[in-house]
Structure 1
Amino acid sequence: MKKAILISSATALLMVGGIAVAAPGERGMRADSNGDGVISRAELTKSLEARFTKMDVNGDGQLSKEDRDAKRADRSAKRGEQFAKADANGDGELSQTEMEAARAERKASKFARADKDGNGKLSQEEAQAMKGKRGGKGMRGKGHKRGGNGMAMMRDADTNGDQKISKAEFTTAALTRFDKADANSDGKLTKEERQAAHKAHKGERNKRGG
């Protein structure tokens, strides 16, 4: 169980802002707050602050098993709410009709959120933004095994070996990866630098046998 929370916490470091290991397609660009395609160190630091606060459910300044358990309980409750909402006749089971109706409702809701100008159509920019948000969750990609990369990140982040990740450890681990990817040391990660870092990271992982 301890390994599970450590893997989860460490993997989150990879997800924040496409840190140093941006996958093909440039998914997960949360830290790029001004949308210029470049992630500055300041943008990443701000993104890390927000991410850590969100993950630290009990507010004790540490990412631990308790935080993960709370997150799991919250997700379970939300799934229960979604099921109840889709179960239109309240019989405790979802028919094909109910599932299709729920799916159609979710699609309509996503479309409405993406249609910023409310004209009932998506511009190229709106469609790309909608696609980008869908891809943001998929940092592992096809064929990536859960846990292997997370444990490597954990070893880097948990510097005092207490089985928890403090805010300082969380931030330091992410910024270390940022600095490693910042080839010209200008405090910014361009698309080319992110792709180069991703390629190098993939090569290292392949050498370790995935």
Structure 2
Amino acid sequence: MKKLSLLTLGAALIAVPVLAAPGGAKADAEGNGTLTRAEVQTNATAMFAKMDANGDGKLDQADRAAKRSEMQAKAFERFDANKDGQISKAEWDQHAADRAAKRAAKKAERGEKRAEAGEPGKRGPGMRGHHGKRGGHHGMRGGMMMKADTDGDKAISAAEFQTAALARFDAADANKDGQVTADERQAQRAAKKEKRAEWRAKRAAAAASPAN
């Protein structure tokens, strides 16, 4: 019964990311706001080991399937409040209500922060990409995997993962001093935001153009 009930959760789960970006605050081991190549390499190694679910030294569909199964099991435990191996309508509705409440609280918090910063309180319709997902086209992570998979074997080795991580580091290291500061990370985010805006503008223009 529990195995069958797990299948009902598919629509409620978020897809497992193909390739995470081994940078940011978690990679900053010293906590000084500046990333070094050594820190990024160390973080990439740790992330690869965590993502390599079956320990075969590569990231592929098998790891994604294993991660999905792990997420499904954890999600089931969250839904199954009374731990009877089944998810009742009441448990499903309660979980949905809890998620809605959390989203409302986060939205209100973001609104307060934007108000304090003097920013507009509403997002424009172009802030979401295909199918309502934030951040533009949802194939972006798939594109990241394709770029990391340099030998085209549909799997990412530890070396390929490290190379991709360092390539992102080098792209952010504007002055090529072997460090990425908070200002450089902010500049990189701004550049990506500008590219996404350009992509959305082109897509909107293409959609508005009359069909031939």
Fold shared by both chains (TM-score > 0.5) = yes
SS at match of 2:40: helix
SS at match of 1:8: coil
Amino acid at match of 2:181: T
Amino acid at match of 2:18: S
Structure 2 segments unaligned to the other structure (5+ residues): 1-15, 103-128, 204-212
Q: CA RMSD in A?
A: 3.0
| 1:162 and 2:168 aligned | no
Q: How does 1:59-138 map to 2 (within 5 A)?
A: 59-84=55-80, 86-87=81-82, 92-93=87-88, 95=90, 99=94
Aligned partners of 2:135 and 2:196 also within 8 Å: no
Amino acid at match of 2:17: S
Amino acid at match of 2:73: A
SS at match of 2:27: coil
Q: Return the offset for 1:94.
A: 6.2
| 1:43 and 2:64 aligned | no
State how many pairs are aligned.
152
| 1:54 and 2:60 aligned | no
Q: Return the offset for 1:99.
A: 4.2
Q: Deviations over 1:107-154 (max 9, x none)?
A: 9xxxxxxxxxxxxxxxxxxxxxxxxxxxxxxxx9x7314633223322
Q: Return the offset for 1:89.
A: 8.5
Could you say if the C-alpha distance between residues 90 and 63 of structure 1 is closer, same or farther in structure 2, counting changes exceeding 3 Å? Answer: closer
Instruction: Flag the structure with more relative contact order, 1 or 2, with Cα contacts below 8 A and sequence separation at least 6.
Output: 1
Amino acid at match of 1:144: G
Structure 1 segments unaligned to the other structure (5+ residues): 1-6, 19-28, 108-139
Distance 1:89 1:163 in 2: 40
Aligned partners of 2:51 and 2:59 also within 8 Å: yes
| 1:203 and 2:194 aligned | yes
2:26 corresponds, among 27, 30, 33, to: 30
Aligned partners of 1:87 and 1:94 also within 8 Å: no
Larger Rg, first or second structure (1 or 2): 2
Distance 2:83 2:146 in 1: 47
Amino acid at match of 2:23: G
Aligned partners of 1:17 and 1:47 also within 8 Å: yes
SS at match of 1:9: coil
